[in-house]
Amino acid sequence: MRVLTVNDVRIDDTFAEAFDMRATAVVVTADSARWARQAALSMTGFATSVIGCGCEAGIDRELTAKQTPDGRPGMRVLLFAVSTTELQKQLLSRVAQCVLTSVGSACYAGLDGEETLKLGNGLRYFGDGWQISKRFGKKHFWRIPVMDGEFVCEATTGLRKKAVGGGNLLVIGRTAKAALAAAEAAAAAIAKVPDVIAPFPGGIVRSGSKVGSKYKGVQASTNDAYCPTLRGAVNSALDGEAGSVLEIVIDGLTSEAVAAAMRAGIAAIVKLGPKRGATRISAGNYGGKLGPHHYHLRHLAR
């Protein structure tokens, strides 16, 4: 495989392969940034991979009081799923259990679109007949009585049918400490890019997977080609100096947003250099058979 070297970090001449997903966004607000973040973190828990979690979700960015509908601190949360039906199910259950229940919270549409998903329109029944419908211009809200006052929730939020899931970077280092330093730098850079999330813990996943398994019924299994301990037993993609591999998976509302996030991540890894971070950057793909979105590292590294 040909490689490009930038600041002594090798960048494989390969591409990340991503696929279409459904996506939506909500804005969660509260009386303080602390409680807005608490609600958003609870809502995005257990949402790392559609393989086992039903959806992939994360905080896109923190919002100031001037950026939210009710003039309070807030968080914009993105959710991705493989179907509209599953996305609707995940949205309602997570807002109901994690935002409605959070002290002083409110929830608003975080995405405009001709097609919409139910938000307050699905949660209003919790009011048991005491809920109040309010309209302000083209906006529709529900006021649901709760024990600390009212839960204000916009009726619907937008649906994005052509969002992208599965952009990725493989961060390869001589040691676990070095690979983590590079992955953390990349994750921090990606977090600053709008309209994307890196849904795994801290934006980083240690257990990268391949499609399929030797065991019947298992959808995904360990990516053995990138496991250092299996280097002598499988067709390994690693050379002798690779001691640790970490992956960053990226979902975005648009293909352009995913490309921008990958570009930012690569730049951060390259800037750190191989002495303190990664010696090599690669990406996962399935020969172009999995998804229509291909992100070539050699283009993103320039």
33-71 pLDDT, tens digit per residue, is 999 999 999 999 999 999 999 999 999 999 999 999 999
What is the average pLDDT across 127-142?
A: 96
Q: Say whether pLDDT at 1 is over 70.
A: no
- DSSP characters over the chain: --EEEETTEEEES-EEEEEEEEEEEEEEE-SSHHHHHHHHHHHTTT-S-HHHHS-EEEEEEEE-GGGSTTSS-EEEEEEEESSHHHHHHHHHHHIIIIITTSTT-EEEE----SSEEESHHHHGGGGTT--EEEEETTEEEEEEEETTEEEEEESEEE-EEEEEEEEEEEEEESSHHHHHHHHHHHHHHHHTSTTEE--SGGG-BSS-EEE--SSTT--EEE-GGG-GGGTTTS--S--TT--EEEEEEEEESSHHHHHHHHHHHHHHHHHH-TTTS-SEEE----TT-S-SEEEEHHHHT-
According to the model, what pLDDT value does residue 12 have? Answer: 96
Highest-confidence segment of 40-44, 112-116, 136-140, 231-235: 40-44
Q: Smallest Cα–Cα separation from 71: which of 41, 108, 18? A: 108
Domains and CATH numbers, the chain: 3-18+163-300 (3.30.70.520), 22-160 (3.30.70.520)
What is the average pLDDT across 114-130?
A: 97
What is the average pLDDT across 255-275?
A: 98
Rounded Cα–Cα distance for residues 31 and 38 (Å)? 12
According to the model, what pLDDT value does residue 211 have? Answer: 86
Rounded Cα–Cα distance for residues 189 and 267 (Å)? 9
pLDDT band at 302 (very low <50, low <70, confident <90, very high): confident
According to the model, what pLDDT value does residue 113 have? Answer: 82
Summary mean pLDDT of the chain: 96
Q: Say whether pLDDT at 19 is over 70.
A: yes
According to the model, what pLDDT value does residue 2 have? Answer: 66
**Percent of the chain residues past pLDDT 90, beyond the cut:** 93
